[in-house]
Amino acid sequence: MFFLLLLDNMTAMCPSREFLQGRILSRREFACSVAGLRPAIKALQDPQPGPAEAGAAVALVLGGDRLSAVRKVLEMLEEPSFRSEEVLVKASYGSAYPYPATTHPDTLRSVVRALRESGCDRLRLVERSGMGATRRVWERLQVTALAARLGLDLLALDELPAEEWTVQDLPGSHWKRGVEVPRLLAGEALSVQVCNLKAHRFGGYFSAGIKNALGVVSKDSHIGEDHNFMAELHNSPDQRLMIAEASAVFRPKFTVMDAIQVFISEGPERGEVAEPRVVAASRDRVALDAAGLAILRLYSARIPGSRRNIFELEQIHRAGELGIGVKDPDLVRFVTQDPGSRALASQLKALMANVQEKKDPRE
């Protein structure tokens, strides 16, 4: 019986031919799969826990179109109703470059549809673009027209007057004077997040749910002395720690990650494109980002920091310290509904648990 379980599990641990698309498993990927064998055998012996049980659930769908994949991951998370509530939607519009640099129209369309079906009265898309004025970015990407069709209000944060901003001190952080965020997000506003997955050449290593929160932080100060928060960030050797610290000001109810296509080099607005064909979602941004980084590592060994343990990378580790998400890969639990997604989840779990050789933390 044990041999049958082991054989079945080893089959599941190997990526499907559809997933690999002709790729040969590298020695590192094979070792990671073997490292993840024990937890996967236990999962085969025990019933898969439901979404409400302990651990940080990451719903994952491999393959299919965006509209159905987004619906599936949200159903697997069993997201609460937003009936009669206003919800702020933070997508990814840091530049005017098309997907995978920015949110795909079908992903936004599917998330909005799900929120409407949950009974939400009002939806507002909020953003502060990093490469240009937000409203101009939306217009170039035709988001303005899409929002009109979806009945989605637009709020360009870089157009807010000074009195609509407030300082978040972030005690114990690496920010010299905290950060400024819109008052409506500093309170108890309900929000959801839609992020992409990509390499990031400007010091963040990669971009997903944690880094996407920087789009609610002001670029320039509105209160006190003149200060450029983004210049402070990009000129600091502690940039990855600061990304995690700033993300603490934004607490979305859940995050949807579109990894149908990803940048595995350069980023965030250009680079070599891979096609994992994955959509994932979680209430826990650390668990989701860790899964995303594991996906990037499956497709490229050139992602900065790739020789270090995922949960030891500054962005992930600091976010865990701050309570933004889990601190341990053992607490990440994938929720899947088909063999292909399950096989990929086993690979990602193994990559997250893999103990690498200790390296210089600056790598």
C-beta atoms surrounding 232 within 10 Å: 16
Boundaries of domain holding 203: 2-353
Please write down the long-range contacts of 271-274, taking CB distance under 8 Å and 24 or more positions apart: 271/198, 271/199, 271/201, 272/300, 273/100, 274/299, 274/300
Q: What is the pLDDT of residue 48?
A: 39
Q: How far apart are the first and last CA of the chain?
A: 45
Lowest mean pLDDT among 34-38, 55-59, 105-109, 121-125: 34-38
- Asked if residue 83 has pLDDT above 60, the reply is yes
Q: What is the pLDDT of residue 35?
A: 40
Residue 56, in any domain of the structure: yes
Number of domains in the chain: 1
Q: Which residues of 111-135 are buried (b: 16+ CB within 10 A; e: fewer)?
A: bbebbbeeebeebbbbbbbbeeebb
- Asked if residue 102 has pLDDT above 90, the reply is yes
Residue 329, in any domain of the structure: yes
Q: What is the pLDDT of residue 258?
A: 98
- Asked if residue 50 has pLDDT above 60, the reply is no
Residue 11, in any domain of the structure: yes
Contact 90, 193 (CB under 8 A): yes
Residue 80, in any domain of the structure: yes
Note the pLDDT tens digit of each residue in 306-327: 778 999 999 999 999 999 999 9
Token digits of residue 84:
């009669």
| Across 20-42, average pLDDT | 40
Q: Of 63-67, 135-139, 351-355, where does the model show the most confidence?
A: 135-139
Sign of CA dihedral 33, 34, 39, 40: positive
| Alpha-carbon gap, residue 323 to 249, rounded angstroms | 12
| Alpha-carbon gap, residue 60 to 57, rounded angstroms | 9
Note the pLDDT tens digit of each residue in 322-359: 999 999 999 999 999 999 999 999 999 999 987 554 44
How far does CA 3 lie from the centroid of its chain? 37
Residues in the chain: 363
Q: What is the pLDDT of residue 16?
A: 41
Residue 76, in any domain of the structure: yes
Residue 259, in any domain of the structure: yes
| Across 157-178, average pLDDT | 95
Residue 306, in any domain of the structure: yes
Residue 238, in any domain of the structure: yes
Tell me how many degrees the CA angle 233-326-234 measures, rounded to the nearest 5: 10
Residue 344: CATH number of its domain: 3.40.50.11440
| Across 55-73, average pLDDT | 93
Token pair 């989701």 in the structure block, residue:
288
